[in-house]
Chains A and B, each alone.
Chain A
């Protein structure tokens, strides 16, 4: 095994990557169907509404529209997502089912833009 060539080595790595990607694609589910849809706009440096409500234990889809004149990064450190929302565009953030609680929302490019997701 000590005289394996570099080409074989690359082929091995490639095979692992291909397998992983195939597995990833195969794992694509239709889970989004039963997600609860929420929407939010960013306008004049504020979230509207500033407080979102969602049921516990359900997957969520937050539709964010940026009506500011500058790009935003819609983020939540509690929920572990960040998503750049270009001017005038809508972005969708998917959130896994959560326990009841309050989860922060903010625009990472403009930290004064704050909101909260209340799961109950």
Chain B
């Protein structure tokens, strides 16, 4: 039971952090509940499909199918997060002003919600497929599963969802005039972390071999396999022994997002523009 609880909690926790951020980012946007739950649903469905085809998937690309697949969907999520941030830098301020003026929810473009729903789906799919495989394994070993496993898995799900809720509420407690800045930064770091993670998968698959020397080792300070390490890994991409390529891609992703946001930002009439 404890094993089921720990594994389910860990995976739901990691997906929950991302879902919580997306919920906070879209707070007040009409129709977001549908988009986010749609993303979660699609992610769960995808997780089951991936778990079902793990055998076939891992044989692809000379045995590196899992890594290539993971890198691919992470890359996709990075594009979606980038797109969202750029979109928000263009339309976010008007939305926020309207929101404040009207004192009610505004209808945001569904395009940005779709991007975030995809990010949610990817997060749930990645973490979920491990849960499905694990629970399937336990069920198979015990011939149909047991109540202990169901209880453990359910407890893990509840605790993990609690993290999602706390992330959401925590972010909402930030004064609304800072919220846009905070969530933009969170999304950018999330994207950079995912991009570096995608590189780690490509390195694992031996597709990316350049700049593969370890840049630093902070495992004495915080192991990325520890609880806090995992949380930071999900949020900002913390790795205790990154390769040079991971660091480069991380910095590059942040830079590209920042540049695109500046490039496409709404022209400021009321606020002096920074040179």
Contacts and interface: CB of A to CB of B under 8 A. Distances in A.
Is B truly associated with A?
yes
B54 A71 contact: yes
B79 interface: yes
Which of A17, A71, A85, A94 has the largest count of B CB atoms less than 10 A from its CB? A71
Interface in B95-142: 130, 133-134, 136-138, 140-141
A46 B63 CA distance: 23
Given A17-B79, A27-B209, A80-B241, A91 B58 contact: yes
Given A1-B263, A4-B263, A10 B209 contact: no
Contacts of A32: 206
Given A9-B264, A94-B206, A77 B223 contact: yes
A85 B11 CA distance: 18
A70 interface: yes
A84 B130 CA distance: 8
Contact of B141 (A6, A69, A86, A108): A69
Interface string A51-95: 000000000000000000111110001001101111101111110
B212 interface: yes
Nearest to B245: A27
Contact of A109 (B7, B54, B58): B7
Contacts of B208: 24, 27-28
B234 interface: no
Contacts of B137: 70-72, 109
A84 B66 contact: yes
B133 A27 contact: no
A106 to B, nearest CB: 11
Interface string A82-120: 011111011111101000000000001111000000000
B210 A2 contact: no
Contact of B256 (A9, A16, A90): A16
A43 interface: no
B81 to A, nearest CB: 11
B83 interface: yes
B3 interface: yes
B222 interface: no
The listed residue with most B CB atoms (<10 A of its CB), out of A31, A85, A94, is A94
Contacts of A89: 55, 58-59
Given A69-B140, A84-B58, A86-B58, A109 B75 contact: no
B206 A70 contact: no
Interface of B: 3, 7, 54-55, 58-59, 63-64, 66, 75, 79, 82-83, 86-87, 130, 133-134, 136-138, 140-141, 200, 202-210, 212, 214, 223-225, 239, 241, 243, 249, 256, 260, 263-267
28 contacts: A1-B263, A4-B264, A9-B86, A9-B260, A12-B260, A24-B202, A24-B207, A28-B209, A29-B209, A31-B209, A69-B141, A70-B137, A70-B140, A71-B54, A71-B136, A71-B137, A77-B224, A77-B225, A80-B239, A80-B241, A84-B66, A89-B59, A90-B63, A91-B63, A92-B63, A93-B204, A94-B204, A96-B243
